[in-house]
Chains A and B, each alone.
Chain A
């Protein structure tokens, strides 16, 4: 056990030198680090959000909201098709008020016979390129002439996935339009989005939150004249509106307007938006240009509806309902509303990034101010220094200068190697991770203690120094490996099952275990061997 070949020594020293090289950047001043010559590593430990400040969000897409929107559109399509084929229904085709399905009730068997194939034709394969692809709609026969149309589970999960991917894209354009921020935006699990903004202060996080919350569904709607004031009243109070319409409050006028649900145009028909000021009033407005199709549609619509109102709706609220004074065919327009310069700017940004396909909810959020993070780092440094000092002193006192120094040198190398390994792996150091390192400091000497105790025992049995040290190392190997592999199993379980900062803890603990075995079993053994060969002691100072 005490013989080391030159090759072995070369590799051991190599590993230590690499560890030092890779951990160096963490302690060098920034100026020196940035000017290191090319082959030298410059990577430092990544600090977790809890240490450098910033925010961590888990956003959940509102699947229900997406399903409701889809059903609304579907019911309006079904209505149109049935009407086109002169199929009569006993009640207007509508989305159920409570449950996510569309009620279709045919008037006669003849209507059913004609209408059912039309309904069934609406259910398309989700993926047209796949044979046997699941279909989009479920059509159930509830009772005579009554049908229930709902989205299939496959369709819902397909929509969820697409919604998430789109949302991620939209969020990136909204939060970081210039692409300069260090942003993490990724899918997490099947219906969540992970958003991390390291280093952001409270102001920045507030701004980000406000753009997450807005779906920014912009749409232009026709304003219908109700047949009677009563009809509008019933629509507002009982939510039973003429089919294809809904009542919206126009805050500016203080009255409700009856709008068609199917929009004339949506935000998707816009090409570009900019904040600006109205020429006469100097009020903040949002200027926009239509894309080609949008310009044509709007031109056609406005030339046919001169003198009528149309409403601009943003996220379910009318922001303005201007009068059409004449055909608008220039391909551009503007939105007035009660904007401030700030809110006009924000709306332009949101319109440029596009609407979120569904509402997002914050299911989890942690935010740490930069100052708090700095405090945690200081506290962590203090605790690890003092812990290290305590352990080192204790080891010296217990095992004397010779063996104490061997153990403490191994401990120091251990810490350097942990820092180096974390830097190479690009691992993130979190607050629990610091706890892991401090704990490792305490437990790392365990392997050395085991070996030293064994050496003491063997020496007490009458073995000479070299023999005792050799036997000590040899007999300690199995228990050291067994004990550390089991701890490693616990750490790995924690890594795979845990989440967020806890993973940071598992990583440091696992690396710490591996490194402490290496330093005790290999590095400390090398040191003991060199000392024994040089000093040839008659007795062991232990």
Chain B
């Protein structure tokens, strides 16, 4: 009965020569990394206010804001230093009546220079926000408050430092764990793969100009976790196979291990992607950036386990008992 497991159609004895593709992959990865570093150093990231300070006000004017966008932009810009940013945000239909609700607006006020005599810009930030909000309330009788965020430069600077520290610390801890559980070559390979993922993710955010905020840092750490998960599974199989096939050349063992775990890699990537796509489409604007980063991370993390973490062992060598390499 119900005997339809489709997984059977996945190749059981896949034998894709991943390792011999390592040079192509290496060139691709290096190009990607250089491009990412280049993008990051020339155009940096589009930091959200979490990291650069500033103010965001989300509100609704009660009607479709499309016709008013330019007026609001001009009005906002006239009240603060620098130019305000404006974006529409989609909103769900009313829960009780089911009526469509007009788009809301997300207005961002850039970082304001510190007021005279103040040692930081906290007050200027709050003052600018109040002016803009008061103007919007006055201009639009159906003004409805949705949310706001105010961040002084000091706190945002700290958040940035903390975020970078979290990523570096996580990489370090993981290196120690893998070193402890495997050989040092595996630790080095895993961290290289993770650094590869982190750099490429930052590159993508630099390229797309998507907002880089705290939740993206969370996403990067999760990508680190996910990619590591993948890498460790492959490594574990490599360790098992090096013990099992004592005389096989390393290249073959690596290739075999990747192919052995391939169906698992595919299955897990698909289920994770299914959940993430649901999050991306239905999870609301607040989680869009996070979902996007994670979807990217699943691809890049899977790629790096196969094409970075494993081939690096070819370069570094693996200690094997009783055989000549």
Given contacts A397-B6, A487-B226, contact A446 B232 (CB under 8 A): no
Chain A window 48-81, contacts with chain B (Cβ cutoff 8 Å), 1 for yes, 0 for no: 0010000000101000100000000000000000
Which residue of the partner chain, among A435, A460, A502, contacts B279 with CB atoms under 8 Å? Answer: A435
A410 CB to closest chain B CB (Å) equals 13
Whether, in the assembled complex, A374 has its beta carbon less than 8 Å from a beta carbon of chain B, the answer is: yes
Cβ B92 vs Cβ A375 within 8 A: yes
Nearest-Cβ distance from residue B47 to partner chain A, whole angstroms: 15
How far apart sit A482 and B4, CA to CA, in the bound complex (Å)? 32
Contact with B along A490-526 (1 / 0, CB 8 A): 1101100111111001100100000000000000000
Are A364 and B150 touching (Cβ within 8 A)? yes
Interface residues of A in 191-237 (CB under 8 A from B): 202
- Given contacts A64-B119, A399-B7, whether A483 and B229 have CB atoms under 8 Å apart is yes
Cβ B5 vs Cβ A443 within 8 A: no
Q: Check if B249 is an interface residue, CB within 8 A of chain A.
A: no
Whole-angstrom CA separation of A150 from B271 in the bound complex: 65
A439 contacts across to B, CB distance below 8 A: 222, 272, 275-276, 279, 294
B276 touches A442 (CB 8 A): yes
Of residues 260 through 292 on chain B, the ones whose CB sits less than 8 Å from some CB of chain A are 260-261, 263-264, 267-268, 270-279, 281-284, 286-287, 290-291
The minimal Cβ–Cβ distance linking A113 to chain B, given in whole angstroms, is: 38
Q: Are the C-beta atoms of A363 and B154 separated by less than 8 Å?
A: yes
Chain B 1-33 per-residue mask, 1 if CB under 8 angstroms from chain A, else 0: 111111110001000000000000000000000
Q: Known contacts A364-B152, A369-B145: does B283 contact A445 (CB below 8 Å)? A: no
Q: How far is the CA of A455 from the CA of B166 in the complex (A)?
A: 38
Q: Contact mask B220-233 → A, CB, 8 Å, 1/0? A: 01101110111011
Residues of A within 8 A of B173 (CB): 489-490, 493
Find out whether the CB atom of A394 lies under 8 angstroms from the CB atom of B147: no
Instruction: Output the nearest chain B residue to A361 by Cβ-Cβ distance.
Output: B122
CA distance A400 to B9 in the complex (A): 12
User: Quick one: CB contact mask for A429-471 with B, threshold 8 Å, 1 for yes?
Assistant: 0011011001101110110011011001100100000000000
Shortest C-beta distance, B196 to chain A (Å), equals: 16
Q: Nearest CB to that of B224 among chain A residues?
A: A490
Once the chains bind, are B272 and A443 in contact (CB under 8 Å)?
Answer: yes
A-B CB contacts (within 8 Å), total count: 262
**Is the beta-carbon distance between A398 and B267 smaller than 8 angstroms?**
yes
Report the bound CA distance from A402 to B225 in whole Å: 30
Q: Is the CB of B122 within 8 A of A390?
A: no
| Contact of A263 with B by CB under 8 A | no
Which residues of the other chain, A, contact B217 by a CB distance below 8 angstroms? 498, 502
Q: Which residues of B contact A142 (CB under 8 A)?
A: none
Q: Which single member of A361, A403, A450, A485 contacts B264 (CB below 8 Å)? A: A450
Q: Which 9 A-B pairs have the closest CB atoms?
A: A442-B275, A379-B284, A400-B5, A387-B278, A442-B272, A487-B225, A479-B236, A497-B166, A387-B275
In the complex, 19 of the A-B residue pairs with CB atoms within 8 angstroms, ordered by the A residue number, are A202-B145, A369-B146, A397-B4, A397-B5, A397-B6, A403-B5, A439-B272, A441-B275, A446-B229, A449-B268, A484-B229, A489-B177, A491-B221, A493-B170, A498-B162, A499-B159, A501-B215, A506-B218, A541-B2
